[in-house]
């Protein structure tokens, strides 16, 4: 179910949304990012991780497949599934076993969709007609968790 959508017309707005998402995140959360190349998935994740760990250099794990970051809240895994040739390769990486023991952010989540938990938060990023947008999809639990942090008023006030 669609929970919320925003136009992201500035880097500051992307940073506020990503930082706010980190604030409501908890152990066992799965954030599955979808969107074409260049829409801002890695930038969004960079701001999420920088909220957790100040001044860490966050880069795309395209060639390494994933990076692990240690935060005070939980380990954070940033995975890029772009290079996986088939979704079963996620099993060979062994990270499937850590889904409940960390916070996971996965770029190109559609490549490993069948291995992701059903209670994931789907984050769809889009860039069309010079408008960048982000949409959150999830179950009723996610809707309740995001209600306060992701009201339009909160995001707009944070930009002032």
pLDDT at 159: 52
Question: For residues 58-81, b (16+ Cβ closer than 10 Å) or e, as one string?
Answer: bebbeeebbbebebebbebbbbbb
Compute the distance between CA of residue 49 and CA of residue 86 in angstroms, rounded to an integer: 27
Which stretch of DSSP H or E encloses residue 136? Answer: strand 131-137
- Cα 47 off chain centre by: 10
The owner of tokens 């002032």 is: 160
Q: Does a structural domain hold residue 83? A: yes
pLDDT at 134: 94
- Cα 76 off chain centre by: 11
pTM for the model: 0.87
Q: Does a structural domain hold residue 158? A: no
Q: Does a structural domain hold residue 157? A: no
The CATH number of the domain where 72 resides is what?
Answer: 3.40.50.300
pLDDT at 157: 57
Q: Does a structural domain hold residue 38? A: yes
Q: From the CA atom positions of the chain, what is the Rg in Å?
A: 15
Which stretch of DSSP H or E encloses residue 67? Answer: strand 66-70
Look up the domain containing 40 and give its range.
2-152
pLDDT at 67: 82
Number of domains in the chain: 1
Q: Does a structural domain hold residue 160? A: no
Within 10 Å of residue 56's Cβ, how many Cβ atoms?
Answer: 13
Ordered mean pLDDT values, 10 residues apiece, the chain (160 residues):
89 91 94 93 93 78 75 92 74 73 92 90 94 94 85 58
């Amino acid at each position: 179910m669609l929970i919320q959508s925003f136009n992201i017309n500035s880097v500051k707005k992307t940073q506020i949304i990503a930082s706010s998402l980190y604030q409501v995140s908890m152990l066992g959360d799965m954030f599955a990012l979808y969107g074409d190349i260049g829409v801002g998935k890695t930038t969004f994740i960079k701001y999420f991780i920088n909220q957790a760990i100040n001044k860490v250099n966050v880069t795309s794990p395209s060639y390494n497949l994933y990076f692990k970051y240690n935060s005070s809240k939980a380990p954070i895994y940033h995975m890029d599934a772009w290079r996986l040739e088939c979704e079963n390769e996620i099993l060979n990486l062994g990270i499937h076993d850590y889904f409940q023991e960390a916070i996971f952010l996965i770029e190109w989540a559609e490549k490993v969709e069948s291995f992701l938990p059903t209670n994931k938060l789907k984050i769809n990023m889009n860039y069309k007609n010079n408008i960048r947008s982000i949409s959150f999809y999830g179950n009723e639990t996610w809707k309740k968790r995001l209600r306060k942090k992701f009201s339009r008023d909160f995001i707009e006030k944070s930009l002032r």
